[in-house]
Amino acid sequence: MRVGGGLGLGGIAIVVILSLVMGEDPLRVLSQIQGTASEAPAPRTSGSGEADPELQFVQSILGDTEDTWDALFATEGAQYQRPKLVVFNGATQSACGFASSAVGPFYCPGDGQVYLDLSFFQELEQRFQAAGDFAQAYVIAHEVGHHVQNLLGLPRQIQAARQRGTPMEGATGLSVRQELQADCYAGVWAFNAQQRLDWMEPGDLEEALNAATAIGDDRLQQRGQGRVVPDSFTHGSSEQRVRWFKRGYEAGSPAECDTFRAKQL
């Protein structure tokens, strides 16, 4: 995968992998973890440390997602609002509460920012055997997908559905549908980036699919607790995550990512 020259830099946007390994609901983690950041290092924003190759890579991917979503929103007569990237070390405070690196990368709809500890990518490669630049790009693009959902008002719709009694967890719950849509949006980005830049190299797509497989609920539950409990799914199975990413990549259009009306996930 070739990144670098010609890409805009910026910030963007919940793969909360490590919380799943520990058997926690990522959405609940973000809403319940509260406290003060007295021991947390100050967040580092995208404007600092530009000599850091990892940070430059993240900025390049986020910058290209901006190009993609700028164009897609424009086709609907709307303007894409670019969020801010916060790179932190160890722990940070957000509008969603106090969070440590153990939570993993996350998007906070309360402040419209994506939070990322760069050490997570080492965890992705070493613990989850999901190596490669495009595996990392998939994770970033998934968080961007949550930002797009926020701009479209999805969190409010989900909250209204919860109040009507629609379950969040489970194989067909709102959380899984939300996460699979973000996977699909990541595929939409990958398609449009390839059309624009022709930057994908042999094996890149497989890296993304491998990452999607590695963080499926069934894979994580089997690894973490030795059994699979679909009733507690929050992100979708490995097969579902791969399928919805591929659907977005093959279609190239967010219109094909309506997981909330899909009869079969």
Q: What is the pLDDT of residues 215-232, one digit of tens each?
A: 999 999 998 899 999 999
Tell me the average pLDDT across 156-170: 93
In this predicted structure, the answer to whether residue 43 has a pLDDT above a threshold of 50 is no
Between these two residues, 121 and 245, which has the higher pLDDT value?
245
Instruction: Average the pLDDT over each of 10-14, 101-105, 170-174 and give the range with the smallest value.
Output: 10-14
Q: Can you give the pLDDT at residue 99?
A: 86
Instruction: Average the pLDDT over each of 7-16, 182-191, 224-233 and give the range with the smallest value.
Output: 7-16
In this predicted structure, the answer to whether residue 259 has a pLDDT above a threshold of 60 is yes
In this predicted structure, the answer to whether residue 239 has a pLDDT above a threshold of 60 is yes
CA trace torsion 53, 55, 58, 61 (10° rounding)? -60
Q: Can you give the pLDDT at residue 217?
A: 93
In this predicted structure, the answer to whether residue 45 has a pLDDT above a threshold of 90 is no
In this predicted structure, the answer to whether residue 74 has a pLDDT above a threshold of 90 is yes
Identify any residues that bridge with 84 across adjacent strands, giving them in sequence order.
113
Q: Can you give the pLDDT at residue 51?
A: 60
Q: Can you give the pLDDT at residue 1?
A: 59
Tell me the average pLDDT across 201-218: 91
Reduced 3-state DSSP string for 53-94: HHHHHHHHHHHHHHHHHHHHHHHCCCCCCCCEEEECCCEEEE
Q: Can you give the pLDDT at residue 102?
A: 84
Six token digits for residue 217: 């609920």
